[in-house]
Structure 1
């Protein structure tokens, strides 16, 4: 079944996305620099691009840069006067991302901040609200990151959280996998917080069986 999922993703990309030298070069450079191949798929990147444009986003926050593949998709969704802040724990990943972003022609609108995301978020005070937030970092901290996204957003801010199904692992209440525990805590937080209107969608494809949360700040 996994081969079929990949084949369908390839079909979608071939029909609707086409070739993209900047994105292909980004993935190749990430691999050459030893980054893990855990970027969003091309089809998922286009979803982020479209969601950010549908939200009319002029300021975007990304938690988890890796090599900047998803960052490029999001930065392309911004208007000419837009800006994106992306948070990355690893200095090496951030250096690779900056090179990729410059090569893709979007480096001028992206601010890559290095360090633990919780610390970077806590230091963000007095900034203009973000219109769109994409969270794809350490899963145990997802609930905290969403809470910070609300603080740094506004009514109407869109929040997307990746990897929330974990091939069905989210159902395991007895799991000792900290990623599953963190994901379940995220769902509990979403269910209880009156400031959010949220759902989650399962996905299959090049990234196997997973899913994402889509939430709107009230």
Structure 2
């Protein structure tokens, strides 16, 4: 009898390569973007999501038949391309929030190359202020949070009321490279993730699962 386990498999580098090789292939635009990001911002390249996560996010947007999406933390545009590609091709819209003109200048170029620039609205400035300034009537189908970790709870509190019933919030880095379970780790970013994870779990407005995708990807569904 084959071994059976009820826990998630640990990924060796070889198993991860196998996983990526047996997922939908990355197209040249995203491959070039990943390579340019690594060249231009070697100290920040870890902020970019992996290819399997990008494919997963595109699929989530398509399954939701999402029209209106928001991204908190754009960096050089990999995740926004993945989200925008999954939106309705006729009237899909992604609000991309970031504070860096340098990073998002790269994103703009690749949005054009990917053919999704007409679906993306970039707003530069503190994302919390951008969200707070939105009309109360605006409702999102899909949201992605991947910005400063100490701000996650604030973004969550602004976004949950703005999600339509059945809408999905994806939140990145919620395992903080395993540091969330290290009692000796007290960095503000790690504590910010712990605070967020506890807040999301206790929030009765949503159903939540923390997935072992990338550095931890929390998926929350707004209750009907």
* TM value normalised by structure 2: 0.86
Gaps of 5+ in 1: none
In structure 1, distance between residues paired with 2:38 and 2:28: 15
CA contact (8 A) 2:26 2:51 kept: no
Instruction: Report runs of 4+ in structure 1 exceeding 6 Å deviation.
Output: none
1: CA distance, partners of 2:182 / 2:13 = 26
The 1-side partners of 2:16 and 2:26 are apart by 14
Q: Displacement, 1:83?
A: 0.8
Deviation at residue 156 of structure 1 after TM alignment: 1.2
Q: In structure 2, what is the Cα distance between the partners aligned to 1:212 and 1:121?
A: 21
1:40 equivalenced with 2:49 (yes/no): yes
Are the equivalent residues in 2 in contact too, given 1:33–1:96 (CA < 8 A)? no
Question: Is this contact kept in 1: 2:173–2:216, CA < 8 A?
Answer: yes
Are 1:136 and 2:146 counterparts? yes
1:88 deviates by 0.8
RMSD over aligned Cα, in angstroms? 1.8
Q: In structure 2, the residue corresponding to 1:125 is in which secondary structure?
A: coil
Aligned to 2:18: 11
Count of aligned residue pairs for this structure pair = 210
Q: Per the alignment, in what secondary structure is the counterpart of residue 156 of structure 1?
A: strand
- TM-score normalized by the length of structure 1: 0.89
In the other structure, the counterpart of 2:112 is: 102
Task: Point out which structure has higher relative CO (alpha carbons under 8 A, 6+ apart).
Answer: 1
- Contact 1:200/1:214 (CA < 8 Å) preserved in 2? yes
